[in-house]
Amino acid sequence: MILNLPYASLRAFEAVVRLGSFSAAANDLGVSQSAVSQHVKTLEEWLGQELLVRGARRSTGTRYGTMLAREIDRGLGGISDVCTQIRSARQEDQTVVISCPPGFAFTWLFPRLLRFDLAHPDLAISIATDTGQRPFNGADVDIGIRYGTGAFPGLMVDHLMGEQLFPVCAPQLAESLASPDALDGHTLLVDEILRASGPTPSWEFWAEACGVTLPPSPRTRRFGQSNLVIQAAIEGLGVALGREPLVQGALAEGRLVRPFAQTTQSPLSYWLVRRSQVDRSPKVQEFLRWIKGEAQSQPDLPAPLNKSS
């Protein structure tokens, strides 16, 4: 079983050990030095061990820290085993196990989990990524975050959030996208995972809803995960159809921009599903309250670069 892991803190810690300083790690991760320091402190408190020998010019790993940093490179299974060795015990009833799509986990949920950890030090979150292609199995998880129409027979279901759809691209690419007609000269990035019966948040759906004509034979590049589509857009490999929750962070940081004003509502939403047997659990209710609050406090979309397009 994969132990519940504070992924953002592990990533920040590994960067400090690999690069030898908090400032270098901050530059590498594109965050502030204080954020890296907070992540490392949170990880040390979570494990109950000091992981770094902090120096004026260089920080190095302690015995446990060196062991943990080495295992981060070996994959999550190795990290989990090391953390199990370091931590003396963990009360399983204080862990909330969540399953959700990988793209949503990496781009929306993970960046917010530090806030949950700080607000709920008595609880821990374990994440299992699941594409949702198979029916929800509530035997191994407490809550599932699912993407679809909301039809989940036999389960308790709450609407978490919808999403707006709009093209996004790297800032340097936007200079050649004065209007949707200019898409004819660019690669369209396509999310393969969205293949399903009924309407899906595809380029064709967006174009029809917004009255836009797509290129007759567009050049496309296809990916099997939503987060790969977003990363490809950030790298300037093409134009992606942005799904609001998944691109909010990159838009806020300026790594992606909206070249056009045309926006429409996705036919699919995110849903919270669970078995009725676990719904009254205090830890489940606490997580549900927290994540619904996060969903309700979504920032407004930044303005498109070409407002008249």
Q: pLDDT, tens digit, for every residue of 15-63?
A: 898 888 998 888 888 888 888 999 899 888 888 888 998 887 888 888 8
What pLDDT was estimated at residue 194?
Answer: 62
> Angle, to 10 degrees, between the axis of helix 226-234 and the axis of helix 244-252?
30
Dihedral (Cα; 3, 25, 36, 253), 10-degree rounding: -100
pLDDT one-digit tens code per residue, 168-200: 999 999 988 988 988 998 999 998 866 555 688
Amino acid at 178: A
Residue range 100-125: mean pLDDT, rounded: 90
- Let me know the angle formed at the C-alpha of 176 by 175 and 178, rounded to the nearest 5 degrees: 90
Degrees to nearest 5, angle at CA 211 with 208 and 216: 70
**Mean pLDDT across the stretch 196-206?**
83
CA dihedral 240, 246, 249, 253 (to 10 degrees): 0
- Number of Cβ within a 10 Å radius of residue 173: 19
* Interval 154-166: pLDDT, tens: 899 999 999 999 9
Structural domains of the chain, with CATH: 1-90 (1.10.10.10), 164-265 (3.40.190.10)
* Burial (CB count <10 Å: 0-12, 13-18, 19+), residue 229: buried
Place of tokens 């393969």: 192
Residues 6+ apart with CB under 8 A from 193: 101, 103, 131, 224, 225, 226
Per-residue pLDDT, 307: 62
Sign of the four-CA dihedral 59, 63, 68, 73: positive
Is the pLDDT confidence value at 5 over 80?
A: no
249-294 pLDDT, tens digit per residue, is 999 999 999 999 999 999 999 999 999 888 888 999 999 999 999 9
Instruction: Please name the residue that has the structure tokens 């050990």.
Output: 17
Q: Please tell me the predicted confidence (pLDDT) of residue 89.
A: 40
* Residues pairing with 170 in the sheet: none
Please list the residues that pair with 93 across neighbouring strands: none
Q: What is the pLDDT of residue 162?
A: 95
Dump pLDDT digits (tens) for 53-98.
Answer: 888 788 888 888 888 888 876 664 555 666 666 654 444 468 899 9
Query: What's the pLDDT score for residue 272?
Result: 96
